[in-house]
Amino acid sequence: MSKKNAFYAQSGGVTAVINASACGVIETARQHGDQIGNVYAGRNGIIGALTEQLVDTSQESAEDIAALKHTPSGGFGSCRFKLKGLEESKREYERLIEIFKAHDIGYFFYNGGGDSADTCYKVSQLSEKLGFPVQAIHVPKTVDNDLPITDNCPGFGSVAKYIAVSTLEASFDVRSMAATSTKIFVIEVMGRHAGWIAAAGGLVEDNGIPVVILFPEVEFDQEKFLAKVKTKVDEFGYCTIVVSEGCHWPDGKFLAEQGTRDAFGHAQLGGAAPVVANMVKDALGLKFHWAVADYLQRAARHLASASDVEQAYALGKAAVEKALEGKNSIMPTVVRESSSPYKWSIGEAPLSEVANVEKMMPMAFITEDGFGITEGCKEYLYPLIQGEDYPPYNANGMPQYVTLKNILVLKKLAEFEVK
């Protein structure tokens, strides 16, 4: 096998640990310098490949690459850009081949979620369909935890830990205030289609916290919800509510789309949390506080799960190793061997079975009344938030996250307009 360069790119919404996968890819490639030349990273994802904006990772020090392991976000930049089918996006795939040829790229590592697994699958077919030899390996990443076959997705465990811990802390707060003040705390979490992140908020129940969860999987029933909250407040004196951004009415309309308009008549893009909080106030007259975690949750490297960081790195490493074994069109996966004690290993899935398949949360993970999580769900979740992996801090008390130099290689081709 002749020595080829590798291309690596980050795709879609970033996470607290996607850079740990980048670190796994680059460090492993560097260890196999006899078989892999340089790793070129796409500046802002696949857009960087199309526009020939390739980061020369050999210009980054070993120390800075190592620091990616504890740095949140996408160190090379990410993008929201989906390639369509080989016929429909032929112009783009042909451009990719030109780029691969010009820079002698034989390995394509794509780090992302469902959409990028599909793109990666198509790139893996270039060899057969457009006659260009490239090995394409997908490195899983998504806070939504919705990729199939793999037990879980890197990025999810850290969000889950952040939401579980933050919900616990805020619940302790409202418990302290409930006698004379705030009795309801609402936290809104990510998850437009799947309630995995919301489920993590449910773990606080094991700390004696009364919690009501609003999942995207369960059609919102205002009457049942208010009755549930009232029962909890009557018993405990307060209640925590975790609402998924994807929570919706039976007609499919999101709770966040309440038809609110501001003083200028513009549609108000509020969150689900204030809607739910005001609903409880109007019906039960209870004082509330609400929070919307948004990016804070998926960027919270300061509270990353150690098992998540370890897996993110291991999957990046495995992607390179499997490429060197000659594999193409696969995604390394996490295989759960046992939950208690937590044991896992690396497996692999064919991209044909990953692309365009969304893994939903099993309904067996949601309690019968639709507002809580089951013991089975907790058994699934706890291992994923196990362990703490703190970043280093400087003397001022700030985390030492790395900003890469991101020096681009010289362009060899004509400009290309991304449409």
Strand partners of residue 15? none
Closer residue to a copy of itself, CB minimum distance, 91 or 261: 261
How far from 62 is each of 35, 59, 68, CA to CA, in Å?
19, 9, 10
Helix axes 272-284, 222-236, angle to 10 degrees: 70
Q: Return the number of other C-beta atoms located less than 10 Å from residue 47's C-beta.
A: 18
Q: Exposed e or buried b for every residue in 80-94, given b needs 16+ CB within 10 A?
A: ebebeebeebeebbe
144 included as an active-site residue: yes
Q: Return the number of other C-beta atoms located less than 10 Å from residue 100's C-beta.
A: 23
Query: Residue 80 Cβ, how far from a copy of itself at the closest point, in Å?
Result: 5
Query: Would you call 261 helix, strand, or coil by DSSP?
Result: strand
Closer residue to a copy of itself, CB minimum distance, 99 or 293: 293
Query: Residue 379 Cβ, how far from a copy of itself at the closest point, in Å?
Result: 10
Of 56, 104, 115, 144, catalytic: 144
Query: Residue 297 Cβ, how far from a copy of itself at the closest point, in Å?
Result: 9
Strands (DSSP E) found in 204-341: 211-214, 239-244, 288-292, 330-339
Annotate 396-409 with DSSP letters as a single string.
TS-B-------PBP
Closest CA to 310 of 152, 128, 91: 152
Query: Residue 157 Cβ, how far from a copy of itself at the closest point, in Å?
Result: 9
Q: How many residues does the chain have?
A: 419
Closer residue to a copy of itself, CB minimum distance, 143 or 194: 143
- Look at strands 211-214 and 135-140 and give their pairing: unpaired
Query: Residue 160 Cβ, how far from a copy of itself at the closest point, in Å?
Result: 9
Closer residue to a copy of itself, CB minimum distance, 76 or 107: 76
Closer residue to a copy of itself, CB minimum distance, 327 or 378: 378
Active site residues per annotation: 144
